[in-house]
Amino acid sequence: MRHPFIVANWKSNKTTSEIERWFELVVSAMPTPHAEVILCPSFPLLPMSQMLIEKYHLTWKLGAQDVSSFTEGKHTGEVNAKQLKNFVDYVLIGHSERRRELKETDEMLFEKVKRVQEVGLTPIFFVQDKDTPIPDTIKIVAYEPIFAIGTGNPDTPEHAESIAKYLKKSKNIQTVLYGGSVDHKNVSLFLSEGLIDGVVPGTASLDPKEFVQLTNNA
Ligand code: PGA
């Protein structure tokens, strides 16, 4: 059986000095995780996260939380897919916080997916419900209902499983993740049926102890 994915979405949290301690605590408490950990820090933390993953000989992968919809060039402040390729394997695209706060449209998100795939990275595409438009080339989808994000009020495992089933059958998605108030207590409920292939903890990924427990229970 394949190990579940744990996509740690740190969002706009942590500084370089804080992550050294986070790694130290997590690694000392979690020698060999039987999970595919994909750590998603903010852009400035990617180089140091890469160094720390090497330092501790972890099999983890890195993901970016965003990418430019443009290729390199005259786009001040944008981080393009080619620049990310030295650091990450995955890129999160379409998180509801960005759709809402940054006014990201389906059109922009579809462009981002293209940029990411052009350079050989894997997009993890976020949907808020079963009707969110998904580009045809997407293989990994994270289902995150808005009411569940950061609220302590997750979707029910049964409903999340029904969405996973639908996405796999009707939209040809290979891998479906669930996110929204996942923690060490509920993580196994989402993974037990095998329809959901992994989870996306936000809040629960920030605290080393909680993250270790969550990963162990997955
Ligand atoms: P949460 O965030 O675990 O804090 O609900 C998950 C996410 O938004 O990816």
pLDDT single digits (tens) 35-74 = 899 999 999 999 999 999 999 999 999 999 999 999 999 9
The alpha carbon of 82 and the centre of ligand 1 are apart by a number of angstroms equal to 27
In b/e form, how buried is each residue of 116-142, taking b as 16+ CB within 10 angstroms? bbeeebbbbbbbbeeebebbeebebbb
Is 118 an active-site residue?
no
Q: Which of 18, 36, 75, 95 is catalytic?
A: 95
What stretches of the chain show up as alpha helix (H) in DSSP? Answer: 16-29, 46-55, 81-84, 96-101, 106-118, 157-170, 187-191, 203-206, 208-217
**3-state secondary structure (DSSP) of residue 82:** helix
Q: Are 71 and 83 in contact (CB under 8 A)?
A: no
Residues 72-121: tens digit of each pLDDT: 999 999 999 999 999 999 999 999 999 999 999 999 999 999 999 999 99
d(CA 112, CA 87): 17
From the CB of 182, is ligand 1 less than 6 Å away?
A: yes
Mean pLDDT of 137-151: 97
Give the pLDDT band of residue 33 (cuts 50, 70, 90): low
- Is 145 near ligand 1, meaning CB less than 6 Å away? no
The per-residue b/e assignment along 54-77, b for 16 or more CB within 10 angstroms, e otherwise, is eeeebebbbbbbbbbbeeeeeeee
Instruction: Please tell me the pTM assigned to this model.
Output: 0.97
Counting beta carbons within 10 angstroms of the beta carbon of residue 86, is it exposed (0 to 12), middle (13 to 18) or buried (19 or more)? exposed
d(CA 165, CA 170) in angstroms, rounded, equals 8
Active-site residue flag, 95:
yes
Q: Which atom of ligand 1 is nearest to 204's Cα?
A: 3
Q: What percent of the chain lies above the pLDDT cut of 90?
A: 95
